[in-house]
A and B are shown apart, each in its own frame.
Chain A
Amino acid sequence: MEGELVLLGGGGGGGGGGSSGVSTNESAVLSNVEVVSEACSYPAESELELGLGLSLGGATGKTKPATATSSWGECGRILTAKDFPSVVSHRTKNGGPSVSVSGTKRAAESVSHEGGSPTGISGSSQVVGWPPIRAYRMNSLVNQAKSQRADEGDSGIGEKDKPKDALKKKLNYNGNKISSTTTVNEKGHLGFVKVNMDGIPIGRKVDLNAHSCYQSLAQALEDMFLRSTNSVGAEKEQLTKASKLLDGSFEFVLTYEDKEGDWMLVGDVPWRMFVSSVRRLRIMRTSEANGLAPRFHDSNERQRSKPI
C-alpha cells in the first residue's frame, strides 16, 4: 500500500498514511473545521467559519440548533460509501438525499418529509442517466436489436438466448431479463415518448422501458403531473392506490396516439402491443375522451382485453 502511494509522495505531504488536510491558504478559512483524515463523519457544526464569513442557518433563525445528526434528521441520513455494498443493484436505503422522480425508475425514491422513515425501496432498478450514454445511442442500439431479430424471423417475444449473438437481452431491470419490451415507435425513437397533459403547457417525456405494465406507467405519470405541492403523506397514498388515470374515475384519463395517428385509451391492449405502437401520450380530460373506445365498464365487458 505504501509503495503505491510513493508516487504521490514526491510532492510532500500529499502521500503518506493519511490526508494532509488542507493547504495553508485554507487553514485560516477552515480553522474551526476539524479535518479528519479518514473518517466519514462531518466536523462539528457549532462554530463553522466559512469562506465569506457566512454562517449557515443563522440568517433566518429557522433551522434547529445544529448537531451532527439533527440537521439531516428530518431528511434521512446522508449515505456514505459504507452504505453501499459493492454491487449497487441490490442496495437498500435507509433514506437519503432526495432524488428526482422524472418518470423513470430510480434506486432511491424521494425522502419522506416528516421523518427518516423510508418510502421503501429495495431491490435493483435502473438509475436515471446511468451509465452515461446518450439516449440517441441507446435508441439506435436497441432498434438494431429489434430489427435484426425481426429479420431473423423471431416473434420477438421470448426467443431463446443466442450466446454468441451480440444482440443479447436488453434492458435488464428488476432482476428479470426482458427481451423485447423495448419500445420502438415508427420514428425509431425508443423508450422516451412525449407526454402532454391538458391544461399544462409544458410537456414531459417518459421512458417506457422503465415500466413493464400499465400500472407502473400510470403511477409515474401521476407522480410527474399530478403530484401536489403538499406532498406530505400523499406519496404513501399514491403508492398503494390503483392508478386514477386508468380506471376512468378521475377527471383525467390517459390516452395515446398510435402508429396510425389514432388516439386510443391506454390499457386496452396487451402491454407489449401498446409499447410497440405508441407514438406519444396525452393525459386528456375525461369529458373530451368520450369519443374514444369505451372503457368505463367492468373488465368483463371488455371485448379486446387480454391478460397482460
Chain B
Amino acid sequence: MHKKMAFSFPDEVLEHVFSFIQSDKDRNAVSMVCKSWYEIERWCRRKVFVGNCYAVSPRMVIRRFPEFRSIELKGKPHFADFNLVPDGWGGYVFPWIAEMAGAYPWLEEIRLKRMVVTDESLELIAKSFKNFKVLVLSSCEGFSTDGLAAIAASCKNLKELDLRDCEVDDLSAHWLSHFPETYTSLVSLNISCLGSDEASFSALERLVHRCTNLKTLRLNRAVPLDKIANILRHAPQLVEFGTGTYTADVRPDVYSDLAGVLSSCKELKSLSGFWDVIPDYLPAIYPVCSKLTSLNLSYATIQSPDLIKLVSHCPNLQRLLVLDYIEDSGLEVLASSCKDLQELRVFPSDPFGAEPNVSLTEQGLVAVSLGCPKLQSVLYFCRRMSNEALVTIARSRPNFTRFRLCIIEPKTADYLTLEPLDVGFGAIVQYCKDLRRLSLSGLLTDRVFEYIGTYAKKLEMLSVAFAGDSDLGLHHVLSGCESLRKLEIRDCPFGDKALLANAAKLETMRSLWMSSCAVSFAACKLLGQKMPRLNVEVIDERGPPDSRPENCPVDKLYIYRSIAGPRFDMPPFVWTMDEDSGLRLS
C-alpha cells in the first residue's frame, strides 16, 4: 500500500507526528483517515478515554489499543450526583482492572468518574501495575481507607492520588502511614473528601516533608488550623493548597505562624478548603492573594463584607467558587476587581429555605457578565430571573461556553413580566455561538426548545428539568442540536413520539437520561428492538415494567449507544430492552 502512494511517510514518521496529537477527538479523527493510519494510530495511542464504561468492553479496548498507558473511564450518568440513580445501578470498575491487570502490566494512569471502586479493585491496581503513577477518582464510591493503604504501600512511583468528591468508608487515617519512608515521589494529593476524625498528622507531616516535589495538597476537614503551619512549613513549593477546617480559637501565635508560613509559599496559585471559617483568620491569606488564580470558597460560610475584602485582594483571579453569601454587592466588586475571571460558581447556602436568606439575585450575574470580559463558564443558583437580565447577559458575554443556571424553585417565571423565560434562554443560545453546555431552569415552554434547536449548534450537553409542554420540545432539541452528546431530562412532559421519531439521533449521542417523563414501556421496547446499537435501560423500582400496562410511563430511562451489547451486571430494578424483549416480555 505504501509503495503505491508517492507521498506517504514511513510508519515511524507518522507515529512521531501523531505523538503531538493528544486530544482524544483528534486521535479518533486521525484513525479514520485510512486503514494504515488507523493501524499506526492504534499502536501508538497512549491515552484512552471511554466516556461511558458500558459503551465498549474492556476486551475491545485492549484489542484495539495494545499499548496504552493511561485510561479514563466514566460510569454513572450525571444525574447520579443528585441521587436520581438508585444505588446498585452499576458502573463497576473491577472488570476493567481485572482485564487490564493481565494485559497491561505497564499501565500508569487510571482516571475514573462516577464509578464504583472497591477495595478489591484498589488492591488489584496496587499489585498489578509496577509503574503506576496516577490515580484520580472523581465522585466515586465503594472503597475504604484499606484500599488506599494498599495503594500507598505498593505504588512506589505514585505521583498523583486525587480523591475528589468521593464517598470513602473512613476506617482509619493510618492508611497514610502505609507510604514507606523511602517513598518521595508524590506530586499531588487530594484527600479533601475524607472525614476521619482520627489524626494521623505526624504521618502526613512526614510525608509532606519528604516529598519535595509536592505541588498540590488538598487536606480534609479533620486537619485543624493550627496544624497547617507545620505542614506548610515543609512545602513552600506548593502551587495548590486546600486547607482543612479554618477555625480555631483566636490566638495571635497561631495566626502569625499561619500568616508567616503562607507568605513563604511563593508559588501558590490555588486555594480551597475553608470549612468553618472564622473571619479573624482570613487576613492570613492576603499575602498570597495577589498571585491567586483559583479560589474555592464554596464551603466558607462567611458573609459578604469579608468575602468582598478577600476578593478585592485577588486581581488575577480566574476561577471563583463561592456561596451566595457574596450577594449582588460582592459580585459587583468581583466584576470590577477581577478582570481575568473565566469561571464563576455561586452555590446556595440555604437551598431549601422558602425565602431568600441573602440578597443574591439575577443582578449579580448581570454585573459579572458585564464586567468580566473573559467570563466563559458559569454555574449560578438564585431565586429569581428575568428575560431582560438574560438578554443583557447574552449580549454582553457572547463568549460563554458553559452556562448553567439554577433558579431554585421549579417553574419560576420572569419575576418582572411573569412570562416564561423562553426568550431569555433563547438569547443565550443565539448570542453565545460557542455554547457547549447549558442547564435550564425556571418556567419554560416548548418555545425555548425551538430556540435551542435552531441556534445551539455547538451544544454538547443539555440539562432540562420541569420544562416544556409537549413532545415538540424534545423533538426540537433532538432534531436541531447537531453536536448534542448528552441530554438529561427530568420531570418534563416528553413522551414517545419525539423519542421514536428521532431514534437514529440517539446513536450519534453518548447518552440520554429521562426520568419522571412520559415515555411508555411500549416505546422503550420498540426502541430496544429496532435499535440494536442502543442499550435502552428501564430503571423502575416499582417492579417489572411488564407488570403494568404497556402504555404506562416508565420511571427512569437511560439510553446510550454501545458496541458491547446489553450489560450483565444489572440490579433487579434495571431492565435492558433488546431485540428479544418484545418476545420475552410480552
Write the residues of chain A forming the contact surface with B, with a CB cutoff of 8 angstroms. Answer: 4-5, 7-8, 11, 14, 19-20, 22-23, 25-26, 29-30, 33, 35, 40-43, 48, 50-52, 54, 56-57, 59-60, 62-64, 71-72, 74-75, 78-81, 84, 86-89, 97-102, 104, 108, 110-111, 113, 126-138, 140-141, 144-145, 147-148, 151, 164, 166-173, 186-189, 192, 202-205, 207, 224, 227-231
Across-interface contacts of B555 in A (CB, < 8 A): 98-100, 110
Interface pair A101/B541, CB less than 8 Å apart? yes
With A74-B549, A98-B553 in contact, is A51–B472 under 8 Å at CB?
A: no
- Cβ–Cβ contact A187 & B170, under 8 A: yes
A11 to B451, CA, bound (A): 11
Residues of B close to A71: CB separation below 8 A: 520, 551
Is A8's CB under 8 angstroms from B518's CB? no
CA A148 – CA B408 in complex, angstroms? 25
> Could you tell me the distance in whole angstroms from the C-beta of B62 to the nearest C-beta in chain A?
29
Contact partners of A30 in chain B: CB under 8 A? 475, 501
Neighbouring A residues of B586 by C-beta, 8 Å: 60, 62
Closest to A173 in B: B352
If A167-B301, A227-B542 touch, does A131 touch B387 (CB 8 Å cutoff)?
A: no
A42 touches which of B427, B470, B504, B517 (Cβ 8 Å): B470
Check if B86 sits within 8 Å of A172, measured CB to CB: no
What chain B residues lie within 8 Å of A14 (beta carbons)?
450-451, 454
> Which residue among A22, A111, A169, A228 has the maximum number of chain B CB atoms within 10 Å of its CB?
A22
Indicate whether B543 reaches chain A with its CB closer than 8 angstroms: yes
- B interface size (C-beta, 8 A): 113
Q: Which of B430, B548, B551 counts the most chain A CB atoms within 10 A?
A: B551
Q: Is B99's beta carbon under 8 Å from chain A?
A: no
Q: B154-162, B333-341, B359-367, B440-448: which one contacts chain A?
A: B440-448
Choose from B303, B409, B549 the contact partner of A75 (Cβ within 8 Å).
B549
Q: Given the complex of chains A and B, what is the CA–CA distance between A4 and B411 in angstroms?
A: 21
B445 and A81 contact, CB distance less than 8 A: yes
A-contacting residues, B547-563, CB 8 Å: 547-556
Q: Are B496 and A22 within 8 A (Cβ)?
A: no
Name the distance in Å between B396's Cβ and chain A's nearest Cβ. Answer: 14
Report B316-360 CB contacts with A as 1/0, cut-off 8 Å.
Answer: 000000000100000000000000000000011111111001100
**Residues in chain B within 8 A of chain A (CB atoms):** 79, 81-84, 86-88, 139, 165, 167, 170, 193, 195-197, 221, 247, 275-276, 298-299, 301-303, 325, 347-354, 357-358, 381, 387, 391, 406, 408-413, 418, 420, 423, 426-427, 430, 439, 443, 445-447, 450-451, 454-455, 463, 465-466, 468-472, 475, 479-480, 490-491, 493, 495-497, 500-504, 515-518, 520, 522-523, 526, 529-530, 539-544, 547-556, 571-572, 582, 586
**25 residue pairs A–B, Cβ–Cβ below 8 Å:** A5-B423, A8-B451, A8-B454, A51-B503, A63-B522, A63-B550, A63-B551, A72-B518, A80-B469, A84-B466, A88-B409, A97-B517, A100-B516, A113-B548, A134-B82, A138-B351, A140-B299, A144-B275, A144-B301, A166-B302, A172-B352, A192-B83, A205-B87, A207-B83, A231-B543
- Which residues of the partner chain A approach B418 to less than 8 Å between Cβ atoms? 86
Shortest distance from the beta carbon of A238 to any chain B beta carbon, whole Å: 13
Residues of B within 8 Å of A40, CB to CB, are: 469-470
- Residue of A97, A110, A166 near B518 (CB, 8 A) is A97
Contact of A169 among B353, B439, B572 (CB under 8 A): B353
Question: In the bound complex, do residue A56 and residue B445 qualify as a contact, i.e. CB atoms below 8 Å apart?
Answer: no
- Give the Cβ gap from B461 to chain A, nearest Cβ, in Å: 13
Q: How far is the CB of B274 from chain A (nearest CB, A)?
A: 10
Q: Nearest Cβ in chain A — how far from B17, in angstroms? A: 39
Contact check, B167 vs A189: say whether CB atoms are below 8 A apart.
yes
Residues of A within 8 A of B411 (CB): 81, 84, 86, 88
* A192 to B165 alpha-carbon distance, docked (Å): 15
